[in-house]
């Protein structure tokens, strides 16, 4: 018999493949439904927990498959009640996720890749080597564990999910889509796709694919500059995904998909915080309307060229956009004291790069 850690994870099987497996084993078709619910809704950690299967069938499944649950390796609670978790995947790597509590919502910020390959200049995760994509069920596990934290610490249900942790979700399209399906399934967490936001650094062809797939979740574009030269300076991906290409892809998304569109804009002192920058941003957003989230910059190691804009400058920037009848939210950072704020994930967690 193989070591359990070497066995394929049964959750790699989609529901139709699970049905085919039980048919091959000469079992009734409804066994697939039972096992699927135990694996996802009930989050069984071993086949012995699936008590409505016979012991011989459980033993056969345990011989051929594993259930490699994601575990919380470390948990840190911020002074503002934000909780950052180091999640250990079954094969060893560590990624990070965050629970962001407010008076109106409980939001899970989750990771889609181990590391990242995009190298955005202001982001700690971008300084890590991308090791692999996170599988759909591993993303699902992160959400479920953060939902547990919300109940345990704040006695409140999870209300929102943002794919804004480590990695680029659209470069893990299969895993991201599978996780959304599990999260929104009645046999999973049963959350509405309208409560889910997927954030991208901007990959035009994949944004178009979201439209073609008519997704129901929301999309956030990490824009950070509405000027080609400035955006390319801080986000190398802009060199192959121009602002014009992104605008056309976003228009396709808005036409075909059901979700809302948000522009994320980290504001840096003396780089993208002038009224001229605000004017360019307003003009760009007018092409494909959406709301704008202005985000405070959170310092990371080895990025001394960036500083946080003053409150006065941020307010003036936002006021200009509002004068153009654009919906604007200023997002104040949460969890800065534990490096859980936007752009800081993996800043201090050296375990995140270990295999």
Helical ranges in the chain per DSSP H:
15-24, 30-40, 55-64, 136-154, 173-184, 204-212, 228-234, 243-256, 275-287, 311-323
Q: Are 331 and 295 in contact (CB under 8 A)?
A: yes
Find the Cα–Cα–Cα–Cα dihedral 301, 346, 157, 12, rounded to 10°: 160
Q: Give first-to-last CA distance, the chain, whole Å.
A: 25
Beta bridge partners of 77: 83
CA separation for the pair 277, 269 (Å, rounded): 12
Give the count of beta carbons closer than 10 Å to the beta carbon of residue 155: 7
Q: Are 298 and 347 in contact (CB under 8 A)?
A: no
CA separation for the pair 124, 204 (Å, rounded): 24
Please tell me which residue in 109, 116, 123, 342 is annotated as part of the active site: 342
Phi, psi angle pair for 50, to nearest 5°: -85, 80
Q: Is 283 exposed, middle or buried (0-12, 13-18, 19+ CB in 10 A)?
A: exposed
CA separation for the pair 160, 180 (Å, rounded): 12
Which sign, positive or negative, has the C-alpha torsion 199, 201, 202, 208? negative
CA separation for the pair 101, 301 (Å, rounded): 26
CA separation for the pair 191, 186 (Å, rounded): 8
Determine whether 322 is an active site residue: no
Token duo for residue 122 = 């202001």
Closest C-alpha among 73, 57, 60 to residue 7: 60
CA separation for the pair 136, 133 (Å, rounded): 9
Please tell me which residue in 27, 96, 178, 264 is annotated as part of the active site: 96
Determine whether 45 is an active site residue: no
Q: Which residues are catalytic?
A: 96, 342
């Amino acid at each position: 018999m193989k070591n359990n850690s070497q066995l394929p994870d049964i959750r790699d099987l989609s529901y139709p493949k699970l049905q085919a497996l039980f048919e091959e084993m000469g079992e009734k078709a409804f066994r697939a439904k039972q096992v699927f619910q135990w694996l996802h809704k009930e989050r069984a950690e071993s086949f012995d927990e699936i008590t409505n299967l016979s012991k011989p069938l459980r033993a056969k499944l345990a011989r051929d498959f594993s259930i490699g649950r994601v575990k919380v390796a470390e948990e840190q609670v911020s002074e503002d009640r934000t909780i950052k978790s180091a999640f250990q995947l079954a094969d060893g790597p560590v990624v990070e996720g965050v629970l962001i509590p407010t008076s109106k919502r409980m939001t899970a910020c989750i990771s889609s890749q181990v590391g990242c390959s995009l190298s955005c200049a202001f982001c700690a995760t971008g300084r890590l080597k991308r090791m692999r994509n996170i599988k759909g069920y591993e993303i699902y596990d992160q959400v479920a564990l953060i939902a547990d934290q919300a109940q345990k610490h704040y006695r409140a249900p999870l209300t929102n999910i943002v794919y804004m942790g480590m990695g680029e979700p659209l470069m893990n399209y299969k895993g991201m889509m599978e996780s959304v399906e599990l999260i929104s399934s009645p046999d999973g967490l049963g959350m509405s796709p309208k409560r889910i936001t997927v954030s991208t650094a901007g990959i035009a062809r994949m944004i178009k694919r979201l439209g073609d797939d008519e997704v129901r979740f929301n999309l956030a574009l990490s824009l950070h500059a509405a000027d080609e030269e400035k955006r390319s300076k801080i986000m190398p991906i802009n060199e192959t995904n121009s602002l014009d290409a992104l605008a056309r892809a976003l228009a396709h998304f808005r036409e075909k998909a059901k979700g809302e569109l948000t522009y994320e804009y980290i504001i840096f002192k003396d780089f993208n915080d002038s009224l001229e920058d605000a004017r360019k941003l307003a003009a760009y957003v007018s092409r494909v309307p959406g709301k704008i989230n202005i985000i405070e910059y959170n310092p990371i190691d080895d990025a001394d060229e960036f500083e946080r804009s003053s409150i006065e400058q941020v307010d003036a920037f936002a006021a200009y956009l509002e004068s153009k009848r654009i919906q604007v939210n200023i997002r104040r950072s949460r969890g800065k004291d534990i490096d859980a704020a936007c752009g800081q994930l993996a800043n201090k967690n050296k375990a995140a790069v270990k295999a």
